[in-house]
């Protein structure tokens, strides 16, 4: 199977602070991939390089064989905070990247993410979870081939987080979009991912990969699920010495 994304970063530093070293990552189509690691290990730095917001590194990043030198329409991103424009409605915020007043895909996205009743609402009228759904819809409206997710649910309560994880899976399935997420939440990684890459502390690189061969929809209470979460936790606490 061909690679959608190929990352080879030999060195990424901020001054004398070496963040990434020997970072190699290949992303296949039709897979949900997660990079798992502790806070401060460089996960967000990696995403910013992939999306084209940071090109100050030694190495190459290619999306569909094209070298990434800046933001590309084929790649969308969801940040930790929704970052909505407060003077625009939900509909206008979602359509903002397109510069259009309407879009055939909008109605479907509003339904999938349960936003259809709030299309005219302003961001100040939304809950945190609803605002993050708008952010997700905005990233998906342009039909990107690759969606990058920078710990998108970390600020939400557990009930809202679980609901949005399911909505994310549904939206990606409908859109046939490939996802790359970074997180420090092991359970979230196992619930969403087909492949999990583990990053060590700085200077960071991938030190372990897990294939998550659990049937979907996944059950957090199943013995197979809890076993996989426990296995990764033991590795990170044990011989990987990350937690």
Pair of tokens at residue 238: 């044990």
Give the model's confidence band at 11: pLDDT under 50 very low, under 70 low, under 90 confident, else very high: very high
Give the model's confidence band at 1: pLDDT under 50 very low, under 70 low, under 90 confident, else very high: low
Range of the domain at 222: 3-237
Asked, for residue 95, whether it belongs to a domain, the answer is yes
Domain count, the chain: 1
Asked, for residue 70, whether it belongs to a domain, the answer is yes
Q: Over 80: is that where the pLDDT of 70 sits?
A: yes
Q: How far apart are CA 212 and CA 228, in angstroms?
A: 8
Asked, for residue 243, whether it belongs to a domain, the answer is no
Give the model's confidence band at 243: pLDDT under 50 very low, under 70 low, under 90 confident, else very high: low
Residue corresponding to tokens 């990764």: 232
Q: Which of 70, 58, 94, 81 is nearest to 171 (CA)?
A: 94
How much is the mean pLDDT over the chain? Answer: 90
Q: Over 60: is that where the pLDDT of 149 sits?
A: yes
Give the model's confidence band at 39: pLDDT under 50 very low, under 70 low, under 90 confident, else very high: confident
- Check residue 105 and give its pLDDT: 83
Classified as helix, coil or strand, 32 is strand
Q: How many CB atoms lie within 10 A of CB 42?
A: 25
Task: List pLDDT tens digits, range 111-126.
Answer: 999 999 999 999 999 9
Distance linking the first and last C-alpha atoms of the chain: 33
Residue corresponding to tokens 């013995």: 223
The pTM of the full predicted model, rounded to 2 decimals, is 0.91
Pairing of strands 3-14, 58-63: antiparallel
Q: How far apart are CA 102 and CA 100, in angstroms?
A: 5
DSSP state of 147: E
Asked, for residue 242, whether it belongs to a domain, the answer is no
Asked, for residue 29, whether it belongs to a domain, the answer is yes
Asked, for residue 211, whether it belongs to a domain, the answer is yes
The answer to whether residues 194 and 31 touch, using CB atoms and an 8 Å cutoff, is yes
Q: What CATH number is given to the structural domain containing 191?
A: 3.40.50.300
């Amino acid at each position: 199977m061909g690679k959608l994304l190929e990352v080879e970063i030999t060195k990424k530093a901020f001054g004398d602070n070496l963040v990434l070293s020997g970072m190699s990552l290949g992303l296949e189509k039709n897979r949900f991939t997660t990079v798992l690691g502790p806070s401060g290990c460089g996960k967000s730095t990696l995403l910013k390089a992939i999306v084209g917001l940071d090109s100050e590194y030694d190495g190459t990043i290619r999306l569909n064989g094209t070298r990434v030198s800046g933001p590309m329409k084929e790649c969308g991103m969801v940040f930790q905070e929704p970052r909505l424009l407060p003077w625009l409605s939900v509909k206008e915020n979602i359509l903002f990247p397109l510069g259009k007043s309407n879009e055939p895909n909008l109605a479907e996205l509003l339904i999938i993410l349960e936003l259809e009743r709030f299309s005219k609402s302003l961001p100040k009228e939304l809950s945190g979870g609803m605002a993050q759904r708008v952010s997700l819809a905005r990233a998906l409206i342009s039909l990107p081939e690759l969606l990058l997710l920078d710990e998108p649910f970390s600020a939400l309560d557990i009930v809202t987080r679980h609901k949005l994880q399911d909505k994310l899976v549904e939206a990606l399935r409908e859109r046939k979009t490939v996802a790359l997420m970074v997180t420090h939440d092991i359970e979230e990684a196992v619930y969403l991912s087909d492949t999990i890459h583990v990053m060590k502390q700085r200077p960071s690189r991938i030190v372990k990969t897990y294939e998550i061969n659990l049937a979907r929809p996944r059950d957090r209470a199943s013995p197979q699920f809890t076993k996989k979460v426990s296995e990764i936790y033991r590795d990170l606490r044990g011989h990987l010495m990350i937690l």
